[in-house]
Amino acid sequence: MSARVLIVGATSAIAEAVARRYAAQGAALFLAARRTDRAAVIADDLRVRGAAAVTVAAYDATVRDTADALVAAAWEALGGIDVALIAHGSLPDQPACAASAVLTRQELEVNALSVIDLLTPLANRMASARHGTLAVIGSVAGDRGRQSNYVYGAAKGCLAVFMQGLAHRLTPVGVRVLTIKPGFVDTPMTAAFPKGPLWASPQTVARDIQRAIERGAQVLYTPWFWRWIMLVIRLIPTSIFQRTRL
């Protein structure tokens, strides 16, 4: 049977690249996005590329108490979910967050709490079905707090620990839990940054994500070298770390 895939934040570049890989395999997809007009454009493309069925639904991560309804709608439309990829997020303006507790809270809500709102009902449904993969796009930024983007890092770090706990809880019942930690990815979210050799394309990241889902990995650094870069960054002693501007 072809895969049944829920993608939240479906207009993100990484999410779209993952969706194409599943579409080419004949999957049925449920796309949730704030911009449903753009998700519909993506849906047309996925149908041409071979998706068995594509459904588009509106979802705004800044509106509370909508996650349960979204998960229920996707579960019903797809007749169960094999893979759920949660890919929405924003890249906070760190200096602006440093000056505003309100903005900091908003960013934490979008990047961490709204994701957890989805994870809880998805985890419970998958636990009952004793089947499925929960995949969340975290970030290498969640591995160590750094002055340049610790609000984003705190949200992604929160997700990483939450997912670690979910994995501990759900692995015994046959549900897989994957935290994806991309490094620098050339997407609209990062359009303003100068690019160098550490930057990867969304297609490369999507290929890694699909492979990690297939092999049942719990944590994916993509591209692979970020595992070692982040290991070094985590191991730098605090006394030295304090003197860097990372």
164 touching another protein, by CB under 8 A: no
Among 200, 212, 213, 230, binds another protein (CB under 8 A): 200
Q: Please check whether residue 151 is in contact with residue 104, taking contact to mean a CB–CB distance below 8 angstroms.
A: yes
Task: Provide the β-strand partners of residue 55.
Answer: 30
Number of residues that bind another protein (CB under 8 A): 23
In Å, how far are 22, 149, 200 from 163, measured between CA atoms? 23, 21, 24
SS3 181: strand
In the range 49-88, which residues lie near another protein by CB under 8 A?
49
Task: Provide the β-strand partners of residue 29.
Answer: 5, 54
Of 74-82, 160-168, 171-179, 190-198, which part binds another protein (CB under 8 A)?
190-198
The residue among 119, 127, 126, 37 whose CA lies nearest residue 86 is 119
Nearer to another protein, 194 or 237 (CB): 194
In the range 110-149, which residues lie near another protein by CB under 8 A?
none
Nearer to another protein, 45 or 109 (CB): 45
Distance between CA atoms of residues 1 and 177, nearest Å: 21
Contact positions vs another protein (CB under 8 A): 11, 13, 37-38, 41-42, 44-45, 48-49, 184-186, 188, 191, 195-197, 199-201, 203-204
